[in-house]
Amino acid sequence: MYNISKQLIDECKSTNNEMYILMFDIDNFKKINDTYGHDIGDKVIIALAKEVLRCTRKSDISARWGGEEFLIMLTDTNKKGAKILAEKIRSKIEALHVNKVKFTVSIGLTSFYCSRDKSIDDTIKRADLALYEAKETGKNKVIYM
């Protein structure tokens, strides 16, 4: 992710295009593992990843960031397009069932600011703060920061 992000940031700066980061994780994932077992938890993660790949474009970069947390880098889009994609992912995941287990995600969305972000870490930190706000204000939502 970091190697690819350096290239995307350079392109973003040279073309003055926008780049967005979505950070999301599965709401109440520990409860899923505790209630249904880790094998179902693994199936939930796999189903989520497959759905994300169906929703995103080939030019979007998706990665598992850790545990039940994921990151998507979006280039060649604008704020409206990024918000539409984030909401599409949220609603598609809400509709998934894995062995009769329903689950949701909370999503933090932000833009890479060429003029003030020194590295992708600045943007990831902001996306993480937006994700935290989504969790703290009810889960199963998208927060743009």
Q: pLDDT tens across 73-106, in order? A: 998 889 999 999 999 999 999 999 999 999 999 9
Q: What is the pTM of this model?
A: 0.91
**Per-block mean pLDDT, blocks of 10 residues, the chain (145 long):** 74 76 96 97 96 94 90 91 97 96 98 80 93 98 97
Q: Which domains does the chain have, with CATH numbers?
A: 2-144 (3.30.70.270)
Q: Known catalytic residue: 68?
A: yes
Give me the catalytic one of 68, 69, 94, 136.
Answer: 68
Conformation bin of residue 139: beta by default, left when phi > 0, alpha when psi is -120 to 50: left
